[in-house]
Amino acid sequence: MALLGVDRDRIAAAARRVMARCEELAGVSATSGGIERVYLSPEHARVNRLAAEWMREVGMATRQDAAGNQLGRMAPASGEPDAPALLLGSHLDTVPDAGRFDGIVGVLIALEVARLLRAPGDGAARAGLPFALEVIAFSDEEGTRFGKALLGSSAVAGTWNDEWWTLTDADGTSLREAFLEFGLDPARVGEAARRPAELVGYLEAHIEQGPQLDRRGESLAVVSSIASARRFQLTVEGEARHAGGTPYDMRRDALLGASEAALAVERVCRAEHHIIGTVGQLEAFPGAVNVVPGEVRLSLDLRGEFDGERDRVWLSLERELDAIMGRRGLRWQAQEVHSAPAVFCAPLLQDVVREGILSTLPGGTGDPAVLFSPAGHDGMAIGAIADVGMLFLRNPDGISHHPDEAVSAGDVARGIQALAEAVLQLAADRPA
């Protein structure tokens, strides 16, 4: 049974506000003619100030934490200052040449949910909510600047690694130096960490970043899990020789071996269920037009719904690469640079998200889509300290990390209604 008294005009107005603010935030960019907003940059500071202003507008007390995440808090109806909080939100940083909605729409939907659930007059959450409501704008989900994703949410989860302080950006600025330039104290980053007892759970609305909902003709989906991931830097070694003078039977061409390896990644992963492998970077050395490439460095991003299946496919790829390089007289090696286990959304949070989606359907009945997320999200880090749930919004054509990324105002309106209903359903399962 739906618990939210739906005011269609109010929710439509909220959706229009989300769309307008996505456009406003798109103007906060380090580049002209595109969107790029990275961790600990002047643009990061500007969007945090905007988010704080919007949080105060809906009656929230605001703060920026020790890792640069922006938070707003709305006390429960009881007014208890130390009540545990249900955390809603997403991230405001972007990849280079980004779209307008990845992460951003989730923060803004969370703010509109807080607005809907605010009791008139006193700024507190609607009577009956047994927990505080917090909205968080994570500072660095993408990892664009320092090459390490989930820095903001890792700080909140208490899993910050001091080895990260030496990471540098393209200009040679270290993460420690960037903290200081932003006005943060590296010695206090641990203060961003939250204890499990402080959190009821974490709910995030996000565009799908894939085409499944669009293909199904549906607006919203329950997320079942976030994919496990492993990333490798591969090096293929051959022999650099003169391009004109070296016959084919004497060539040890590292680029041809690396190219065959990339095709093997596609072939092996396409034959699997919910395994995705991508070679996104490839660089040949010495890189001259008239020299047979003697060395190639390439990346491999390997994702799967389940850790064991992902790892089994990596072992298969190792055997494939051994065979390819053996045929071509090449050597290869792999350095693992990232590993993250799959994070499964909590059954209760999946249930309340499902109830939220049902509240948007005619008659409140149907069978909402359930999708796993091949893309990573801040919930992967927050899952270390709290139950996680996610709601996907339809992304036309499934394009993301690209200026053509899109979501409709109608689907945003349904997402606001569904997430607000999910909050109320969770409250009903957690008596005051």
H or E element in which residue 104 lies? helix 104-117
What is the rounded CA–CA span in Å between residue 226 and residue 216? Answer: 20
Number of Cα atoms under 13 Å in the Cβ half of residue 203: 33
Q: Where are the beta strands (DSSP E) in 286-418?
A: 291-292, 295-304, 331-340, 343-344, 369-373, 388-393
User: Which pLDDT score, from 0 to 100, does residue 416 have?
Assistant: 97
1: pLDDT strictly greater than 80: no
| Phi, psi at 371, each rounded to 5° | -125, 145
- Percent share of the chain, pLDDT over 90: 91
Tokens for 418, please give them: 């569904």
Strand-pair partners of 334:
234
123: pLDDT strictly greater than 50: no
124: pLDDT strictly greater than 60: no
Nearest CA among 116, 138, 139, 142 for reference residue 129:
116
- Percent share of the chain, pLDDT over 70: 97
Q: Where are the beta strands (DSSP E) in 129-254?
A: 132-138, 199-207, 220-226, 228-237, 241-242
Please name the residues in contact with 19: beta carbons below 8 A apart, sequence gap of 6 or more: 409, 412
- Stretch 209-225: mean pLDDT: 97
pTM score of the predicted model: 0.92
- Stretch 129-140: mean pLDDT: 96
Span of 84-88, 128-132, 167-171, 298-302 with lowest mean pLDDT: 128-132
- Stretch 222-247: mean pLDDT: 97
What is the rounded CA–CA span in Å between residue 186 and residue 359? Answer: 45
- For the stretch 398-418, pLDDT in tens is 999 999 999 999 999 999 999
What is the rounded CA–CA span in Å between residue 179 and residue 41? Answer: 10
Nearest CA among 192, 58, 68 for reference residue 126:
58
Tokens for 299, please give them: 């990346």
